[in-house]
Structure 1
């Protein structure tokens, strides 16, 4: 009786772990399809910024804009794997039609001097974004030191006297732009389902091996 109980226990445990691994493979296929759709949207041909910009309808929309930088630059503290700690530089950008949006110009290290804002008129290409970077752990911005801790589009727009529209730079015709663009890419979106699947399948193999070992140890010596 004990022997068959251990058999059932081993088979059920292995089946559950295998099913979890298969579920993660299914999640992987779903996630890859989602990422392909996002990447297709991000890399679509750039269009002019709509007259009426809607966050739900135009998030990640690739756009091109012509105009000039104006006013101060806000520094948003971030960390990049390759470069370490640094700032995203966000500056108001006045379009040729008179509207003013905001431009996320890219990254500069905390060890570097903040680059000057390019002068004159130029063209920029990027994607519209409304990042959700604020949670209960986000500290208050240090306005005196010009250090922000999240890209809060509404507050940034009020501070920079611009529309609540953020364009994350991908390419620029400004020759003096010294920041490193950090465009939105699917590589930044976590996709660990394959690792999870391998973990569950490995656990299933270990469970099966251990079950077999215990069955071998508990076999009837008289048989």
Structure 2
């Protein structure tokens, strides 16, 4: 004898006819989950790289000053291996060829004073002597701070900035400078055999009445942990949504009503828009 079970669900359909996500949506959701996890892992790796970079730069900045690289090594100087090295260089300033580069510092808006330093071997190095406010832009206002004789400068080796400032490009023909582009400044000032980097002079190298040195900001944003947690949180939320979509039905309970086969009540239930019939052999 067979038993007839009538399953009553929500209006508009039965459990057997419940809508399921399409295949492409399922694949897209799984791909998004994998991508979010990958982004989180990538940010963790980036954080490890950034911490190593910060540690390496800190060691360079606080190391004893060493002579700048020899001219033969200039083509090999790179950001990864040399930027922010504590270096020293000696020579005579060419004050008549200085270049003012717009800057905003803890002292306010003004200019960096970049002056070529002529070395005994004939090569030249651009030195960022420091900051001057706008009212001291004219070199005549700070002649007492411009040493004439041989000087020794210590500071941090910095890489050239050829891409201009934020949303602003250098205009050499109008003597407007927004970044410390060594090659462009050298060409504009008629300099030759110039190092492909410049030196940020430290506070100990400044002269009375001259630009304010030692204002280099060494700071590296390190928000990678926040980014990683964000990606992982989004992946977790997506996983929860997938679980509800595909596994939530396991926890939903339908109403099963046993009716004698052929009974009028059962027939009525079976013909309802929200009913289905399951026949189970006994």
| Alignment pair present for 1:197 and 2:222 | no
Q: Where do 1:72-221 residues align within 5 Å? A: 72=96, 73-80=98-105, 82=106, 85-95=109-119, 99-110=123-134, 112-114=135-137, 116=142, 117-121=145-149, 122-134=151-163, 139-144=169-174, 146-158=175-187, 159=189, 161=191, 163-165=193-195, 166-176=198-208, 177-183=210-216, 185=218, 187=219, 189-211=220-242, 220=252
Query: How far off its partner does 1:196 sit?
Result: 1.9
Which structure shows the bigger proportion of residues in helix conformation? 2
Change (3 A) 1:108 1:196: farther
Matched residue, 2:11: none
Query: Which consecutive unaligned segments of at least 5 residues does structure 2 have?
Result: 1-18, 256-282
Q: What is the TM-score of this pair, normalised by structure 1?
A: 0.72
Q: Distance in 1 between matches of 2:62 and 2:87?
A: 10
The answer to whether the 8 A contact 1:107-1:181 is kept is no
Q: What is the TM-score of this pair, normalised by structure 2?
A: 0.59
Of structures 1 and 2, the larger Rg is shown by: 2
Query: Which consecutive unaligned segments of at least 5 residues does structure 1 have?
Result: none
User: Per-residue displacement from partner, 1:23-49 (whole Å, max 9, x unpaired)?
Assistant: 210221123223333443344321223
CA RMSD of aligned residues (A): 3.8
The DSSP-based 3-state class of the residue aligned with 1:179 is: coil
